[in-house]
Amino acid sequence: GLLDCQCCRYLRTARACCQMVEVLLAVLILVCSSVSYGPTGGYTGLPSLGGIYYYQYGGAYSGFSGADGEKAQQLDQHFYLQKLPVARAAMATGGFLLVFSSVRILVGVLRLPWRFPAWLLLECVLDIVIAVGMVPALYYFFHFLLGVYNSSVCKEREQLYQSKGYQGFRCSLHGAEIAAGLSGCIAAMTYLLSAGLAVTGYRTVAKLKQKPVQL
């Protein structure tokens, strides 16, 4: 089959499978972050549509008018700006992990570790650095979000929407944010496993290079 060719045999190894899982987790982090923070926020009034207020998270709503509509718009914008820094950081992290894991798969397919075994040791170090770095990153992620949800802006926004009978604006973590955090935790463990496999691969390559006749 396709995976039997010399260049693609790497895709059947444990290291390649581990790296493909890392790619999947990076995509989940990127997607969940963009889903959670993608809308620009703002409860925008559209007089051309008969005074209906259209909320950019989706759906047309009525019930806000005058000062309440302006207040809702201001609270949405402030709430969005508060979450923006951690949103960008999460999406940047997901994008970096996606590129990093994809490059490692490409390097394996091109058999660079066989030509330069030291690459496996470098890969091991980088995997450990990323796995350890995910711990403070996840702490910062949830700590920052909880601070935003405990802010006066979020509480006032929640009360305003509840006064009009709208649900779904509670000051608590959303499913996409929890999924992004869980994906990060699993990614940290996956990178540790990948580091161990890189060391094993280095030992295997070193032994094979000592016995070229048997190849």
Handedness of CA 145, 151, 156, 159 (dihedral sign): positive
Query: Coil, strand or helix: which one is 116?
Result: coil
Query: Coil, strand or helix: which one is 121?
Result: helix
Which candidate, 174, 168, 100, places its Cα nearest to that of 141? 174
Please give the pLDDT value at position 65. 65
Reported pTM? 0.81
Q: Which two tokens stand for residue 27?
A: 């995509």
For residue 116, the Cα-to-chain-centroid distance in whole angstroms is 31
Instruction: Region of 73 please: left (phi>0), alpha (psi -120 to 50) or beta.
Output: alpha
Please give the pLDDT value at position 189. 96
What's the CA gap between 215 and 112, in Å, rounded? 17
Please give the pLDDT value at position 80. 85
What's the CA gap between 100 and 91, in Å, rounded? 14
Please give the pLDDT value at position 7. 62
What's the CA gap between 33 and 86, in Å, rounded? 9
- In which residue are the tokens 């895709």 written? 11
Please give the pLDDT value at position 150. 92
Q: Which residues of the chain have pLDDT under 70?
A: 1-7, 37-66, 212-215
